[in-house]
Structure 1
Amino acid sequence: MHNPNIMAARRTITMTLFNRPEYLRKVLGALSRCIGIERYHLIACVEPGNAEVLDLARGVGFTRSTRVVENEKLLSCPVNVYQALSLAFLETDYNIHLEDDILLARDALLYFEHCGRAFRDDASVFTVTAYNNQKPPEPEWGRTARRAWFTPWSWATWRDRFEEMRPLWDFDYSHGNWDNNLNTRVRGERVEIFPILARAQNIGVEGVHIPSAEWGRTFHYNEFWAGRVAAPRNPDWAENPDWEWSPHQADPEQLRKLPREWLRAAGIPLPPELDED
């Protein structure tokens, strides 16, 4: 059951951090410029091994409060995300989660707040994301849509949805990863809400689950988002039920630069000339 007083009193953002300070500096810079960030409580769960990352997290001073959890041993990404969300939902009914390579646009928190209110009691909505990799026309820049998907690059959900995730969480990659597990096993027929003009950017082109920088640029990096265009100042975030979305499709020339075994593992169709054993 939702407690509206919890959300009103405690706005939380969780972050899971490891060993990429060059990304984290940019992420925190963007977060510091978000409208309303001073009202939020930040919980950062930091894997051991990089003193600069730890210092950056401890140095955050633009939120209402910052709690840094330094893991004594390496937990792994799935376990660390679960830990961060578990801590947040002790304090709130609705939480925003960020990775260390996700930039937010200035109005991203306003977008998340709108969705937290508008879809809280909509049983067909599983999560909310600020990421989208499309180039919509300007009339759609302040609108939202829904899709049968789960996106881990800046997302939010409610306490009751997280309670569903708990017993089915993928701690050991037995279902691919925690995010793939949520998308294919836990979500069911439910949807995520997304902004037709992205309010988040994925700058990660290096990492454990990114086989090459070219892969990151092809499938993660978003050329067109609210951080690059003059988004409307006061969008109403009206939902467009007719907006069409499909997973990003790379062109054959891009695919030639990528490891074929990763493409097959990700379920990305290969052109006939590349799909040879």
Structure 2
Amino acid sequence: MEDRGGGGGGSFVAVRRISHGLDRSNTCNTASAEVAAGSAAWLGRGLSCVCVQGREGDSRPSFDLTPAQEDCLQRLQHRLDVAYDSSIPGHQQALRALWGAAFPEEELHDLISEQWKEMGWQGKDPSTDFRGGGFISLENSLYFARNFPKSFQDLLRKREGVRSMWEYPFAVAGVNITFMLIQMLDLEAVKPRSFVGATFLKFLSENELAFDLLYCITFKLMDHQWLAMHASYMDFNAVMKSTRRQLERELLQEDVTRLEDIPSYSLLSR
């Protein structure tokens, strides 16, 4: 894939710092989702996750959970706490599987290789980017590649629409989407404090892979918004804001009883 990144220095990608054993006893404490700035000169300025703006002072409702919903949320939170660890064979296998799904015609020479830049990673070692989103960001991308291969390939190779000369890097954008969803759904709290978060937990209790599916929907919606806004890499924040607003609206529609009902699900192709 052509590298369309910008050459300006000092660019940053907002990422989530994984914190093991998060204290979830205080539902008003969101400090566990700190933001770490990762230098990425080739990305160009302006590529960052818009979901990190502080909201600690907000007054939000709290929603009680059924035992089933609480159990599903705890299992998802456990996934959020898992950092990518390049010494774990299962993590290595998942990373190799992602490459194989993205470029089945091209052999990966090594887990640390310049080849990874073809997918839109910042450097030759994608594990440095996964530290921002954790192992779940790799799981999200692999789920996308396996369950919606056409959409995955369309986004990876920028096949659809009239595109900017300076495109968003596919892989790093995916990590940002994982992070944005964690923040939007308030998944690190003991229980949801927004209608969107409470609605999502209903879907999660019926489909344990609802977060992975929502990731796929969101990535495709983000690209749809990107094209509609004729965006370039400097517009990434604005596109993410627009994507989040649209996603929240769709999740709260009265006739939506599962993720497959939201309008943006129809954007996905297998």
State the TM-score, normalized to the length of structure 2: 0.27
Q: Which has the higher contact order (CA 8 A, sep 6+)?
A: 2
Q: Pick the structure with more strand per residue.
A: 1
| Bigger proportion of residues as helix | 2
